Amino acid sequence: MSQPEITSLEMRNLLMDALLYENNDLGNQDVFKNHDYQGDQYVLFKLVEWLAIKHKLVEKKINPPRTAWGTSGHSLIPDKTTNFTDNEIKRFYQEFNNLLFHGIIAPGAVGGDYSLPSIHVTEYGFECLRSKEILPHDADDFLEKIKREIPNIDEWILYYVSEALKCFNANCLDASTIMLGLANEKLIKLMIESLISYLDMYYLKYNMKALQDYRKISEGYNAYKNALEHINEEKKSSQPEKAFLSSYDAFKRIESTVHSEFLRITRNEVAHPNEIRKERIETLMLFMTFIPYCKNQYEMIAYFKKSVTYGLDGIA
């Protein structure tokens, strides 16, 4: 199986990693930190290439030449002066200019040239670089980010996401999507279970048959949404509970509905022989939205559990 080309999103992530990189394990290539986060475009390219090799995103056919700090650019020729393909070189330039356009980096360096190819990281850029999303090739960091942001996340969700990461990094995109679908199904089941306990305590007359007897996960998810809408309408006409309204707003955010529906549909697509194949960029976007999506759902689960334990709005 040939090595898949690096996507634009992955290239952007590599650029951001390279600008803040602190270790000295990239082919003896010096890093921006050692020069007050200043340098030039060609040095940045070499750091990005070494990072891509380290993360096994490209195959090292040649040893990228080391450059001295402040050298001028060299011709980038695939398989001769770089391991990147023509398309990957173009994506580097595109994403490099995106960082310039958004003010992450700016032309010029103290003690160097006042214009390109000399560059430096801006103050605004530091904030952006440090808060960027972690992409799937950083599997351990990705899982640690989930556990850090959702400390009580279910172990089965973590397991399925871990398997999805392994599949993605092996370029098995259909299998990766199925594993993410399983993680989502487990999450939906936890959401439904917490809601049933809440309804059983505060909405004794609510018909929970659809929540309890669903056969397909999509049916259970639709029943969950309908029950939330019912609760929301009732609370509008009574004393509002800030905790519920906050959690409900989070649930209604676009990634909640879109992500859940997309995962459900996608899993159905790849689980049946209907000649549909997922693109790398599609699967990558699922990973990037999974953490905020999952975090939103756990806010709602936490509200229901606190209400059952301590009373409405979590007040004993």
Distance between CA atoms of residues 232 and 241, nearest Å: 10
Q: Per 3-state DSSP, what percentage of the chain is helix, strand, and coil (rounded to 5)?
A: 60, 5, 35
Q: Listing from the earlier edge strand, what are the strands of the sheet with 118-121?
A: 38-40, 118-121, 105-107
**pLDDT tens digit sequence for 105-156:** 999 999 888 899 999 999 888 888 877 666 677 777 889 889 999 999 999 9
Q: What is the pTM of this model?
A: 0.71
Q: pLDDT-based confidence at 316, cuts 50/70/90?
A: very low
Q: pLDDT-based confidence at 314, cuts 50/70/90?
A: very low
For the stretch 79-86, contacts whose Cβ atoms lie closer than 8 Å and that sit 24 or more positions apart, written own/partner, are 82/45, 82/49, 83/49, 83/52, 83/53, 83/58, 83/59, 84/6, 84/49, 84/52, 84/58, 85/5
**pLDDT tens digit sequence for 253-292:** 655 666 777 777 677 777 766 655 677 777 888 888 888 8
- 117 cis-preceded (ω within 30 degrees of 0): yes
45 touches 17 (CB < 8 A): no
Phi, psi at residue 292, to the nearest 5°?
-65, -35
Question: Strand pairing partners for 82?
Answer: 78
CATH class of the domain whose range is 8-130:
mainly alpha
Structure tokens at 242: 């800030």
Query: Residue ranges per domain, the chain?
Result: 8-130, 139-314
